[in-house]
Structure 1
Amino acid sequence: MSQVRPNTSAYVQRFSKVFEYIDAHLDDDLSVESLSQLANFSKFHFHRQFSAYTGISVFKYVQLMRLRRASLRLAFHQADRILDIALDARFESPEAFARAFKRTFGQTPSAFRRKPEWHAWSACFVFPNLARKPIMNVKIVDFPETRVAALEHRGHIGHLNETVRVFIDWRQQTGLSPVQASRTFGIPYSNPDTTPPDEFRFDVCGEVAALVLDNPQGVRNKIIPAGRCAVVRHLGSPDRIGETIYPLYRDWLPKSGKELRDFPLFFHYLSVYPETPEHAWQTDVYLPLK
């Protein structure tokens, strides 16, 4: 039986095209026939190659991506009815949606909406062979001092989305939403791949013009300092941002001759989360330099 060799660039390019198409067309009829034509495989070989490459079938992958989008709506759009979310995910009934949702994430849609188990949720989207090689178009910029409201996350990265949801609620209550041109940042103080889960630290931040008052959510005043930075744009889900970070440190930095400043790498999220479709998310990665 023919097997995919994940490091073969031709396969990577063909499958990357398929994944990007799926991300952009979750509302469409994503049949094996149409996707196999896009990848330039026969229907028979495409089904086998896709399963070998991802570890699951085409149907299950498409359903998983639709459930992912539905889960984000459940968590971040409390006013949306579960019935509407189920139908938009192309399920025939709320019951069929609930069964698939619980089978995938271990929670019913209503339980997930009340208290998402983000750790288990994130584990559903680990596909080791799907790493995509970014084009490293690095620029050097002078980043101005920026005052931010920051909510500190401490603990497993799988629970970071819960911190994000608390921050979004605070932001909406105060009127500091992204639609009012308040930039959104993220500051990781440690690498989740090498840090013990309970020691992982990350700040979810929003730009502010005035001091943040005491609040029950624990949002605090912080400063992103001015200074020179290398910046590169990451395209796609922030869940895969390591695919941009590692080449920046591993390949670009040694060749550049630059030295790092004593401030963590940080992210500027250019897309509105979670309204922007995943394939269209853009994130600027800033590496502070001396």
Structure 2
Amino acid sequence: MRQSYEKRVLRVIAYIHDHLDGDLSLDRLADVAAMSRFHWHRVYTAVTGESLAQTVRRIRIYRASIALVQSPASLEEIAALHGYPSKASFSRAFKAVTGSTPAAYRQAGRALTPYVIGKTGSNKMYDVTTEHAAPRHLAVVPHKGDYMKISAAFETMAMTMAARGAPTAAMVGIFLHDTRNTPVEDLRSFAGAEVPEGFAITAPLEPMELAGGAYAVLHFKGPYVGLQAAYDYLFGAWLEAIGATLREEPCFEVYHNSPADTAPDDLSTDIYLPLG
């Protein structure tokens, strides 16, 4: 299965090389990869270790490095040809990738090596099981923007539920985007809680249904800051090894306790990934 995901990633990288001036949106690249829009960006970053935006920048800089050593064009001309509006913005981007200015690179007379797929970093493994889950009926408060500020939405949801005499239920978080691939202002998430069927849901709460079916469930223990590494494992090493396909449904988190009365190392969170 690893080969299958690498083939998809390599296909996307080849597409980026051939369409640097075209549509390189997450949706378009998900189509090229033939993968779910819900999960593609997380799979890509888990497999490669970088965001799609970083890949696009790396390829632009690679192309520019060739021009620097093979073309007599000015730095301003090379910047414009590779999507940078000014020599200054090109120089900043070039140095961020290479550690050198374009002028110094030109003087050295060597181009960058091409982009090579391959993630480096932690090899930590997590406990993952599979289960067939029933549909979940949620009352949610939507949140847009920085995920670190979703606590206000959870507070609104919990206080509203308590005021209406709702039964105590599991807290659920739905985070639709990978922060490394989406501008912070476009991030969308939901703070929710399970409710019984027939429970009246009115503003500020909104109804949401999470589909039943097959799920991979990663069991995570520890502070929430460690969840990103858990997602990378689930969408990277685990998904590649197990040979699973994904459904066009969002993944979600279920919280079994709360940081309000639980030490960070004892927090218990399950990440649900919908399987085809």
Identify the TM-score tier after normalising by the shorter chain.
0.5 to 0.7
Matched, 1:188 2:175: yes
**Aligned counterpart in structure 1 of residue 236 of structure 2, from 242, 250, 253:** 250
Counterpart for residue 201 of structure 1? 188
Matched, 1:282 2:268: yes
- Count of aligned pairs between the two proteins: 156
Query: What is the one-letter code of the residue matched to 1:220?
Result: E
* Secondary structure at the counterpart of residue 127 of structure 2: coil
Cα deviation digits, residues 166-199 of structure 1 (max 9, x gap): 112112212336xx3x111111111122211111
Percentage of identical aligned residues:
21
Counterpart for residue 149 of structure 2? 159
TM-score (norm 2): 0.53
Cα deviation digits, residues 103-146 of structure 1 (max 9, x gap): xxxxxxxxxxxxxxxxxxxxxxxxxxxx9865322111001111
> What is the Cα-based RMSD across aligned positions, in Å?
2.0
**Aligned counterpart in structure 1 of residue 226 of structure 2, from 219, 226, 240:** 240
Q: CA deviation at 1:214?
A: 5.4
Counterpart for residue 267 of structure 1? 253
CA distance in 1, matches of 2:154, 2:174: 13
Cα deviation digits, residues 207-234 of structure 1 (max 9, x gap): 1014454544x21111111110111111
Change (3 A) 1:214 1:269: closer
Contact kept, 8 Å, 2:140 with 2:193, in 1: the verdict is: yes
146-155 vs 156-165, which moves further: 156-165
Contact kept, 8 Å, 1:155 with 1:199, in 2: the verdict is: yes
Query: What is the one-letter code of the residue matched to 1:162?
Result: A
Counterpart for residue 125 of structure 2? 135
* Secondary structure at the counterpart of residue 195 of structure 1: coil
**Aligned counterpart in structure 1 of residue 215 of structure 2, from 223, 229, 236:** 229
Change (3 A) 1:268 1:149: same
**Aligned counterpart in structure 2 of residue 175 of structure 1, from 149, 165, 177:** 165
CA distance in 2, matches of 1:173, 1:132: 44
Specify which structure has the bigger relative contact order, considering alpha-carbon pairs within 8 angstroms and separated by 6 or more residues.
2
CA distance in 1, matches of 2:173, 2:147: 13
Q: CA deviation at 1:277?
A: 1.6
Contact kept, 8 Å, 2:175 with 2:252, in 1: the verdict is: yes
CA distance in 1, matches of 2:127, 2:147: 28
Runs of 5+ unmatched residues, structure 1? 1-130
Runs of 5+ unmatched residues, structure 2? 1-120
Q: CA deviation at 1:254?
A: 1.1
CA distance in 2, matches of 1:270, 1:134: 22
Counterpart for residue 19 of structure 1? none
Contact kept, 8 Å, 1:149 with 1:212, in 2: the verdict is: no
CA distance in 2, matches of 1:270, 1:276: 10
Query: What is the one-letter code of the residue matched to 2:180?
Result: D
Matched, 1:150 2:140: yes
CA distance in 2, matches of 1:171, 1:144: 22
Contact kept, 8 Å, 2:150 with 2:191, in 1: the verdict is: no
Change (3 A) 1:248 1:261: same
Change (3 A) 1:230 1:201: same
Query: What is the one-letter code of the residue matched to 2:156?
Result: V
TM-score (norm 1): 0.50
